[in-house]
A and B are shown apart, each in its own frame.
Chain A
Amino acid sequence: MPPAPPAVAVDGVSKTFRLPHERVHTLKERALHPLRRMGHEAFPALRDVSFAVDHGEFFGIVGRNGSGKSTLLKLLAGIYAADRGRIYVNGRMSTFIELGVGFNNDLPARDNVMINATMLGLSPREARRRYDAVIDFAELREFEDLKLKNYSSGMEVRLAFSVMMQVDADVLLIDEVLAVGDASFQQKCFDEFARIRRAGKTVLLVTHDMGNVQRFCDRAMLLERGQVVELGDPDRVAARYLELNFNQGDVEATREEADAGRYGDRRAEIVEAWFEDESGERVQTIPGGARLAFCFRARFREAVADPLFGVVLADDRGTPVFEASNVLLEPAGTFAAGDEATVRIAFDCVLSSGRYEATPAIARGGSGVAWIDRRERFASIVVASARSTDAVLDVPFALEVRSRERR
């Protein structure tokens, strides 16, 4: 027996948009300037993208803005036509690029549910049959005759999400509509996603939230400039995404900036700095909570007695979040001209997701600050933590709730 075909197969798909230099929208302009050739700029949104998604898989599509992930979703959904390549789908597919497509503010919930469900591919009879389930899931029974314009935005979202859940597709294409509504509704949606997953449906989720990728996805794909740069394990894809996202300026530029922020009499020079993981391998990205070490190598041009070595780690807003030095530790000893020293500062990485920059420094001991060499933002690390938080730290914690019975 041949193996079952995948739920979604994308084979060498490319899509180029023609962006006119000057958009001509009227016949008049055409008539007035008949000889002006329309200049077009070709913008390749997707280049030779291939992947397959198995039945029952939860597949994440991630990428930065403009990476082509929305174009890919629209091609999969059949909203755009591909220039090259083929896309195959097995089973009934539904697209959710936007919640509540076709919703109209002047109509009551009932009509809107019918319209939306019809747009999503249900027949009127199916839509009528599922109407009760939709309203109940949305918990909007008492408001079903209210016009949509009198709904709060949260209620509207709930209604739209409920329709989407009742469409009963085998393959769902979803574009970042997860993070909507209040917390309890979000929880319901997550529960619903878990149910869909257990029911063996295939889901393709386009998202920015690496937490969702790591929580839900079996596999994920990272797009960058219209090409697949990473495909497979969600953790690896999430890490690579954060790396791309936080390393926007290229390395050269960072180096030049670092030179600008360099101070000291240079009796010793910091020549190299890097981060490494527990096994001593150099890394650019580290999972949250892991053991991390910052290292730098210095070369002495003159003899220095008991220099101080230290580092300041700052987040992307420039706020120092961690400092370490040997000021209060054993003196480092005397270095002769030509000596080299390697400093390794190991710590538990309790930082939250984001990019952090290290400023290593060597200074003379004693009172006052006398820099020998200090290189601002000389190395950086991207922390990829599964938990998303707005705080700087992601410290492991225990939380318990004890209820005390009233006497």
Chain B
Amino acid sequence: MSAVEPSLGRQIKGPSAVGTDPRRFWHLTRALAVTEFKLRFFGSVLGYAWQVMRPLLLFGVLYVLFTQIVKIGGDVPMYGVALLLGLVLYTFLSEASGSAVTSIVDRENLVRKIEFPRLAVPLSVVLTALFNLGLNLCVVAIFLLASGGSVRWSWLELIPLVALLAVLASGLAMLLSALYVRARDLKPIWDVVLQILFYGSPIFYAVETVQESAPDWVAKALMLNPFAAILQQARHAVVSPEYDTAAAAIGGTWRLLAPLAVIAVVFVAGYLVFRRAAPRLAEDL
């Protein structure tokens, strides 16, 4: 028996991140994501409406606060739509990464009971968040048209921008879900990081405001944050061309390589960490 030849058939090597069959990987990821999406609908009276309500409610509070009381948004073009777009994109990132952190542990019954490409779990979470983003973007579009905006070809830029954001979210999801299995306090830590990201990104304020009131380098440094750069470009493309492009805000097209590099590093690091952890996830749980 020890002189086993490869002719003995398919070797079972244990679980891996992606597996050998990309189609199965995709079916699984999609099935998990669709289930999660449906569950939110089935679980509540208002169903899908909640998904749209969440950023809208936060939007209502912030809008009143910053137009009536603090007056940050006064001289910013179409402040309401810009704020809503920022909230919707931020909701995507925080939802995808936030629920990805605990995703492997939450799906313990699957991970311990069946063989499947482990990466399907965190990526399905990102996919669910992507479905929700799609819904929310419809609301943004309605809001934009209602506030006097117009349909422009540049809206199409949103596709590569959302794709970039999804790559960033996937990288974070892989990294966090794999690390959380062994370090359970990652969840509160990540919640704090998300808070910092919320206030550190030009979501309820505009980069243009920062440019006027702070030293020149501050606004440029803000753009090193890939989420801020993506949001800035999205505002330029979708809300109003009066917003600077990301390239202008950071001070040169080449400099955009910095936030892009951050995305690439997060994604590659996330993938490598997850791939390394994947074979032992079931026993480490």
Closest CB-CB distance, B117 to chain A, in whole Å?
10
The reply to whether A90 and B10 form a contact with Cβ atoms under 8 Å apart is yes
Q: Is B224 an interface residue (CB 8 A)?
A: no
Given contacts A11-B1, A11-B4, A12-B2, contact A78 B13 (CB under 8 A): yes
The reply to whether B7 and A95 form a contact with Cβ atoms under 8 Å apart is no
Interface residue from A52, A80, A89, A119 paired with B14 (Cβ < 8 Å): A80
Chain A residue numbers with a CB within 8 Å of B8 are 5-6, 9, 88, 90
The reply to whether A12 and B1 form a contact with Cβ atoms under 8 Å apart is yes
Interface residue from A26, A91, A98, A123 paired with B23 (Cβ < 8 Å): A123
Could you say which of B8, B30, B186 has the most chain A C-beta atoms within 10 Å of its C-beta?
A: B8
Within 8 A of B (CB), among A6-41: 6, 9, 11-12, 17, 25-28, 30
Could you say which of B13, B27, B28, B279 has the most chain A C-beta atoms within 10 Å of its C-beta?
A: B27
Chain B residue numbers with a CB within 8 Å of A79 are 14-15, 112-115, 282
Given contacts A97-B114, A119-B116, A123-B27, contact A26 B183 (CB under 8 A): yes
The reply to whether B27 and A81 form a contact with Cβ atoms under 8 Å apart is no
Nearest CB to that of B10 among chain A residues?
A89
Stretch with Cβ within 8 A of B (4 or more), from A100-108, A258-266, A380-388: A100-108
The reply to whether B114 and A107 form a contact with Cβ atoms under 8 Å apart is no
The reply to whether A95 and B42 form a contact with Cβ atoms under 8 Å apart is no
The reply to whether B27 and A87 form a contact with Cβ atoms under 8 Å apart is no
The reply to whether A9 and B12 form a contact with Cβ atoms under 8 Å apart is no
Q: Is A74 an interface residue (CB 8 A)?
A: yes
Nearest CB to that of A122 among chain B residues?
B27
Q: Is A372 an interface residue (CB 8 A)?
A: no
Give the complex CA separation of A12 and B1 in angstroms: 8
Within 8 A of A (CB), among B38-59: 38-39, 42-43
Chain B residue numbers with a CB within 8 Å of A27 are 183, 185-186, 189
Given contacts A79-B15, A118-B28, contact A88 B282 (CB under 8 A): no
Q: Is B182 an interface residue (CB 8 A)?
A: yes
The reply to whether A89 and B12 form a contact with Cβ atoms under 8 Å apart is yes
The reply to whether A88 and B10 form a contact with Cβ atoms under 8 Å apart is yes
Given contacts A80-B283, A114-B31, A119-B28, contact A88 B1 (CB under 8 A): no
Could you say which of B31, B189, B279 has the most chain A C-beta atoms within 10 Å of its C-beta?
A: B31
Nearest CB to that of A78 among chain B residues?
B115
Q: Is B11 an interface residue (CB 8 A)?
A: yes
Give the complex CA separation of A104 and B109 in angstroms: 11
How many of chain B's residues have a CB under 8 angstroms from any CB in A? 41
Q: Is A111 an interface residue (CB 8 A)?
A: yes
Could you say which of B23, B114, B116, B184 has the most chain A C-beta atoms within 10 Å of its C-beta?
A: B114
What 0/1 readout, one digit per residue, does chain B (19-31) give for beta carbons within 8 Å of chain A? 0000110011011
Interface residue from B1, B31, B189, B282 paired with A80 (Cβ < 8 Å): B282
Chain B residue numbers with a CB within 8 Å of A90 are 8-10
Given contacts A77-B115, A115-B35, contact A121 B12 (CB under 8 A): no
Nearest CB to that of B14 among chain A residues?
A81
Nearest CB to that of A26 among chain B residues?
B185
Give the complex CA separation of A254 and B110 in angstroms: 45
Could you say which of A9, A78, A91 has the most chain B C-beta atoms within 10 Å of its C-beta?
A: A78
The reply to whether A78 and B14 form a contact with Cβ atoms under 8 Å apart is yes
Closest CB-CB distance, B129 to chain A, in whole Å?
19
The reply to whether A5 and B116 form a contact with Cβ atoms under 8 Å apart is no
Closest CB-CB distance, B160 to chain A, in whole Å?
28
Give the complex CA separation of A52 and B9 in angstroms: 12
Chain B residue numbers with a CB within 8 Å of A75 are 12, 14
What 0/1 readout, one digit per residue, does chain B (102-142) give for beta carbons within 8 Å of chain A? 00000001101111100000000000000000000000000
Q: Is B71 an interface residue (CB 8 A)?
A: no
Given contacts A98-B113, A104-B39, A124-B31, contact A78 B12 (CB under 8 A): yes
Q: Is A284 an interface residue (CB 8 A)?
A: no
Q: Is A67 an interface residue (CB 8 A)?
A: no
Chain B residue numbers with a CB within 8 Å of A363 are none
Given contacts A26-B183, A80-B14, A101-B114, contact A115 B2 (CB under 8 A): no
Give the complex CA separation of A98 and B42 in angstroms: 25
Interface residue from A5, A17, A74, A106 paired with B7 (Cβ < 8 Å): A5
Closest CB-CB distance, A56 to chain B, in whole Å?
15
Give the complex CA separation of A104 and B40 in angstroms: 12
The reply to whether A119 and B114 form a contact with Cβ atoms under 8 Å apart is yes
What 0/1 readout, one digit per residue, does chain B (180-199) give for beta carbons within 8 Å of chain A? 00111110010000000000
The reply to whether A5 and B110 form a contact with Cβ atoms under 8 Å apart is no
Interface residue from A5, A87, A104, A107 paired with B12 (Cβ < 8 Å): A87
Within 8 A of A (CB), among B46-77: none
Interface residue from B4, B116, B283 paired with A86 (Cβ < 8 Å): B4
Closest CB-CB distance, B207 to chain A, in whole Å?
34
Given contacts A95-B114, A118-B27, contact A76 B7 (CB under 8 A): no
Task: Please give the residue numbers on chain A whose beta carbons come within 8 Å of chain B beta carbons, in ascending order.
Answer: 2, 5-6, 9, 11-12, 17, 25-28, 30, 50, 52, 74-82, 86-91, 95, 97-98, 101-102, 104, 106-107, 111, 114-115, 118-121, 123-124, 147
17 contacts between A and B (CB under 8 A): A5-B7, A5-B9, A27-B189, A77-B114, A79-B112, A79-B115, A80-B15, A81-B15, A88-B11, A95-B115, A102-B114, A107-B35, A107-B38, A115-B32, A121-B24, A124-B27, A124-B30
Task: Please give the residue numbers on chain B whose beta carbons come within 8 Å of chain A beta carbons, in ascending order.
Answer: 1-2, 4, 7-15, 23-24, 27-28, 30-32, 35, 38-39, 42-43, 109-110, 112-116, 182-186, 189, 279-280, 282-283
Complex A-B, nearest 9 residue pairs according to Cβ-Cβ distance, in ascending order: A81-B14, A78-B115, A90-B9, A88-B8, A26-B185, A87-B12, A118-B31, A88-B9, A81-B279
